[in-house]
Structure 1
Amino acid sequence: MSTSFRMHSKHNNPDEWLCMSNGGTAVFLSVLVLSGSRLAQEKKEKELIIWISEHDDTVRGRGCNGFDIEDIPWDFNNFERERSFILKVIEGAREKLGWETLHYEPNEAFVFSYLDTFKNLIINFDPVYIDKEA
């Protein structure tokens, strides 16, 4: 099985999706959460990292941990600030923030590629897809 991350449910170009194996997804989510848990200061930032951590396959089951960027619990009115925080989390993961706590050494080539693709999804995400009622 594999996992896919898209911008939104109508994002029909698989060449722009982030797709990876279950093992790759586990590492990807781990490095994001390690970085984010060190960078989060405000309540909303902590909530965003908790939300990402809940997509670990031990919680949802293997192959069920992908999500669309629109699914992230964005606050429409604070979207740009929240996007900026997620981009800092991605950069922190690229700087190996928190990696010293892992019991293994992630394959940088794979992880950095995943982080770069995820960064592009975050940068290019149009907030018009945010569900303001959620």
Structure 2
Amino acid sequence: MTLSLTVTDSADPADVEAIGRELTAFNDADVGPSGRRPVVVLVRDEAGALKAGVSGYTAWGWLYVQWLFVAPDLRGQQMAGKMLTAAEDEARRRGCHGAFIDTFNPAAETAYRRQGYEIFGELPDFPPGRRRLFLQKKL
């Protein structure tokens, strides 16, 4: 059998989907189904414009907050905490026992720690001059 190895920044979406499908099948057989479900929290103004949001998912009893955004005019008003509380409440309803998030932004670190998250890992110089922090919280 002859194999080829390709590195690309423009993979066929069907190939990327196949990687996810195969890994999911492996993990399901190894540790059981994840029960992965999206969690999205949206904050809109009176005109319907998106001003802040959280996007993540629950799986294997954990909430993972993948993205959290707050528009500049809402920063400093504890909006991140309000959205995290909403996402955490939903995760608890789904039976989750923990939550995790990562950031390289010092202001975000402060907001997450205020919300009860604790650092459990760090990558220095990711990006250069900063540190990427991984935080978790028991729900």
- If you compute each CA radius of gyration, which structure gives the higher value, 1 or 2? 2
- Shared fold by TM > 0.5? no
What TM-score do you get using the length of structure 1 for normalisation? 0.30
Hey, which of these two has a bigger chunk of helix by percent? 1
The higher relative CO (CA closer than 8 Å, separation ≥ 6) is in 1
Hey, which of these two has a bigger chunk of strand by percent? 2
What TM-score do you get using the length of structure 2 for normalisation? 0.29
